[in-house]
């Protein structure tokens, strides 16, 4: 049997009006607590459950705390609460029967005192206060550099009931450590679909490296049942493109790209958004002889920033574009693909040759924040491969330098997919050109 917790009754009572609540006095809570659902009834009801939305509520804090960043003690307390909450959920779900039907689990976390968790009037009051006295209310900046994690050796059993897992990406949801979330993923042996959003925007280089490497280490524990992956990993590149990006890994040995390369071998679809990519994501021709083979992969979609995790830019200045006056310094100017990006396209083409069921591959780098004389221009670079259409395309604000090595790699990929005589397009965006979704 399973007794109903107080939180469940609160949700039930929230649907009652004032008159109905009169009979639900405090002294009757003890009576309600004795209600239980027989085990056999739970098993039957599980067949009707399709989605669970689970929000981990963190402690409230007063107006004084709004003026300071979360301390290590506060973060540790939040981690304990987060661990206890998800452990309890997993323990409950682990008792449910293993049935044919599967459910979707959506996770998020917030404090009722968080800026985006409050109602519109409260947010407006705090915004006005922040404008007048910014030092008295950091808004969501109070916890923007905090990441929820699991305490040491959490008790998280295997749960076979969940087929799809989501970490909700909303303004009100707290950031979670990628490794902590990945640990939860590893406890879902029948998981088929995974969607999550993480942040790689910390200014501290050491923190970025630690979070990325911890995440990479845990990906190997994901269930073999996983088929679909959508990962948003917002990476930070310097706003001033005269600067050098942070070096988060050694060139050719990025742990996160390598880990994603390995897990992609079992997937049918993979979508990565915001992640710094490198050739290791696709593997190399030497690795292809050692099992670099994607027997199920059908759709690939990557949207990436303008730098690699090893600190190299993928684009440089295009001198054919008319710049601003000599007196105006341009800080965002990188639109012309350079040899570092060429290396990625060679690796991608060689990998595509090892994907017998591939139907589409899309690579996009958006540069919408670049400084342009004509504000109507949106600098972009994107690539699309569609075997059924017998076409591979590179389109961008600046023309891609299509090397012979890249061309040979993709012509070979076309032959693999029965698309001999592949049409190769390589052109610039025209003025007021539609976006890639409108073209294809």
The residues, ordered by sequence, that sit 6+ positions from 372 with a Cβ below 8 Å of its Cβ are 379
What does residue 196 show for φ and ψ, rounded to 5 degrees?
Answer: -150, 155
Give the per-residue pLDDT at 41: 56
Give the per-residue pLDDT at 333: 84
The reply to whether 389 falls in a domain is no
Give the per-residue pLDDT at 20: 57
Contact in structure between 237 and 306 (CB atoms under 8 Å): yes
Q: Please give, one letter per residue, the 3-state secondary structure of the chain.
A: CEECCHHHHHHHHCCCCHHHHCCCCHHHHHHHHCCEECHHHHHHHHHHCCEEEEEEECCCCCCCHHHCCCCHHHHHHHHHHHHHHHHHHHHHHHCCCCCCCCEEEEEEEECCCCHHHCCHHHHHHHHHHHHHCHHHCCHHHHCCCCCECCCCCCCCCCCCCEEEEEECCCCCCCCECHHHHHHHHCCCCCCCEEEEEEEECCCCHHHHHHHHHHHHHHHCCCCCCCCEEEEEEEECCCCCCCCCCCCCCCCCCCHHHHHHHHHHHHCCEEEEECCCCCHHHCCCHHHHCCCCCCCCCCEEEEECCCECCCCCECEEECCCCCCCCCCCCCCCCEEEECHHHHHHHHHHHHHHCCCCCCCEEEEEEECCCCCCCCCCCCCEEEEEEEHHHCEEEEEECCCCCCCHHHHHHHHHHHHHCCCCCCEEEEEECCCCCCCHHHHC
Alpha-carbon distance of 254 to 304, in angstroms, equals 15
Tens of each residue's pLDDT in the chain, 440 residues: 455 555 565 666 666 665 555 566 555 656 655 555 555 555 666 667 789 999 999 999 999 999 999 999 999 999 999 999 999 999 989 988 776 668 899 999 999 999 999 999 999 999 999 999 999 999 999 998 899 999 998 999 999 989 999 998 777 789 999 999 999 999 999 999 999 999 888 888 999 999 999 999 999 999 999 999 999 999 988 888 889 999 999 999 999 999 999 999 999 999 999 999 999 999 854 444 445 799 999 999 999 999 999 999 999 988 877 654 444 567 778 889 999 999 999 999 999 999 999 999 999 997 654 343 343 445 589 999 999 999 999 999 889 999 999 999 999 999 999 988 899 999 887 645 444 433 33
The reply to whether 413 falls in a domain is no
- Total number of domains in the chain: 1
The reply to whether 53 falls in a domain is yes
Within 10 angstroms of residue 216's Cβ, the number of other Cβ atoms is: 21
The reply to whether 158 falls in a domain is yes
Residue whose structure tokens are 């599980």: 46
The reply to whether 3 falls in a domain is no
CA 423 to chain centre: 33
In whole angstroms, how far apart are CA 393 and each of 19, 55, 115, 318, 440? 65, 43, 44, 20, 10
The reply to whether 244 falls in a domain is yes
Within 10 angstroms of residue 81's Cβ, the number of other Cβ atoms is: 18
Alpha-carbon distance of 206 to 340, in angstroms, equals 24
Residue among 403, 420, 401 nearest 412 (CA): 420
Give the per-residue pLDDT at 14: 67
The reply to whether 183 falls in a domain is yes
The reply to whether 418 falls in a domain is no
**Which residues constitute the domain of residue 320?**
21-378
Give the per-residue pLDDT at 198: 94
């Amino acid at each position: 049997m399973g007794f109903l917790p107080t939180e469940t009754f609160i949700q039930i009572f929230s649907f009652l009006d004032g008159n109905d609540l009169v009979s639900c006095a405090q002294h009757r809570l003890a009576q309600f607590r004795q209600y239980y659902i027989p085990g056999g009834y739970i098993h039957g009801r599980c067949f009707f459950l399709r989605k669970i939305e689970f929000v981990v509520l963190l402690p409230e804090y007063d107006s004084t705390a709004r003026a300071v960043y979360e301390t290590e003690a506060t973060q540790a307390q939040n981690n304990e609460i987060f661990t206890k909450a998800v452990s309890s959920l997993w323990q409950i779900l682990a008792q449910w029967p293993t049935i044919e039907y599967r459910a979707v689990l959506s996770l998020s976390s917030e404090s009722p005192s968080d800026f985006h968790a409050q109602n519109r009037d409260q947010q407006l009051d705090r915004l006005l206060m922040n404008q007048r006295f910014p030092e008295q209310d950091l808004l969501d900046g109070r916890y923007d550099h905090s990441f929820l994690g699991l305490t040491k050796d959490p008790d998280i059993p295997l749960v076979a009931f969940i087929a799809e897992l989501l970490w909700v990406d909303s303004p009100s949801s707290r950031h979670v450590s990628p490794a902590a979330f990945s640990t939860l993923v590893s406890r879902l042996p029948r998981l088929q679909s995974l969607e999550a959003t993480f942040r790689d925007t910390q200014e501290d280089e050491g923190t970025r490296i630690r979070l990325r490497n911890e995440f990479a280490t845990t990906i190997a524990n994901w269930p073999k049942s996983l088929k679909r992956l959508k990962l948003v990993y917002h990476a930070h590149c310097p706003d001033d493109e005269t600067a050098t990006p942070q070096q988060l890994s050694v060139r050719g040995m990025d742990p996160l790209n390598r880990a994603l390369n390995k897990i992609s071998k079992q997937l049918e679809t993979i979508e990565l958004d915001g992640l710094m990519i490198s050739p290791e994501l696709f593997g190399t021709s030497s690795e292809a002889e050692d099992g670099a083979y994607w027997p199920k992969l059908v759709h690939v979609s990557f949207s990436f920033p303008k730098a690699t995790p090893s600190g190299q830019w993928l684009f440089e200045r295009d001198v054919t574009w008319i710049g601003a006056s000599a007196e105006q310094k341009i800080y965002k100017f990188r639109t012309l693909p350079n040899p570092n990006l060429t290396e990625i396209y060679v690796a991608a083409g060689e990998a595509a040759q090892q994907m017998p069921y591939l139907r589409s591959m899309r690579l996009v780098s958006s540069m919408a924040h670049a400084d342009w004389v004509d504000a109507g221009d949106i600098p972009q670079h994107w690539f699309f491969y569609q075997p059924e259409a017998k076409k591979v395309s590179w389109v961008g604000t600046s023309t891609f330098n299509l090397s012979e090595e890249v061309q040979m790699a993709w012509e070979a990929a076309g032959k693999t997919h029965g698309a001999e005589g592949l049409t190769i397009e390589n052109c610039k965006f025209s003025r007021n050109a539609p976006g890639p979704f409108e073209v294809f």
